[in-house]
Amino acid sequence: METMSGDRTILDRIVDARRASVAHRKRVLPDVALKMAVQKAEPPQDFAAALTRDSFNIIAELKKASPSLGIIRETYVPAELAALLEKAGAAALSVLTEEEFFQGSLGHLKEAKKATQIPILRKDFIFDPWQVWEARAAGADTFLLIAAVLPDATLRELLDLGRSLQMEPLVEVHSRAELDRTIAAGAKIIGVNNRDLRDFSVRLETSLELVESIPDDCIAVSESGLHSHADLARLRSAGFDAFLIGENVMKSADPGASLRSLIAGDGAAAS
């Protein structure tokens, strides 16, 4: 798959497309309507608490497709998958809601929410407060912020908004510079993405290189490229509290069994 167009990366193209989509949706659904819906919504669940149990805390991701792999799972029924993953021991769920590149939707998040009792994170490319209100109105308990696409002022603004709604965001970084900015902004849940969103290459060592610089009072999450219980054990020993796993479970014929194997370490890796 082509990952670059001139100096433009996949991430650039995704964010540009997302900005156009959000601009259109904001015209159709003003934030006043979203805020009214939020007032009627059930309070969000405690995402941070779910990630700090004395366990291998897995954020299991529901993802139908990706720019690098195309279709990951042909039969994609979010409610069924969410229930399976909760039963298999997931501490929380992450649901892709970006439509064009990942074939997700807010509808998928709503379906997963109805089928489970664990916290659900909206995974998307969020840069506008309107999207945070949209996430809460849809039932999300928290949301992802990607440091690479957010200037410092916007990162702080979205962190503050999330907290005002009792949604502590997961802030994702891929480099020391992004980590330093994220710490300075006051993030409390920091995810190290082992996948470089500029070209979608994966290095597990990214997590190991950055974890010692994550403050002790922050929750540390390792994301992407995790294939076995041994990977989880190594990263937990290094200081990570939780792990976000998507493709390896989504590609499995039995996602529940794959997740249980990852958590239990019974010798079977997710596939």
Catalytic residue positions, numbered: 61, 63, 123, 172, 193, 223-224
* Cβ-Cβ contacts under 8 Å for 162 (sequence gap 6 or more): 132, 142, 143, 168, 169
Residue 98 · residue 125 · CB < 8 Å = yes
Partnered with residue 143 across adjacent β-strands are 122
Name which of 46, 69, 80 is nearest 163 in CA terms. Answer: 46
Residue with tokens 């433009």: 8
Paired residues of 59 in beta bridges: 92, 244
Q: What is the 3-state secondary structure (H, E, C) of 136-175?
A: HHCCCCEEEEEHHHCCHHHHHHHHHHHHHCCCCCEEEECC
Cα separation, 177 vs 16, whole angstroms: 23
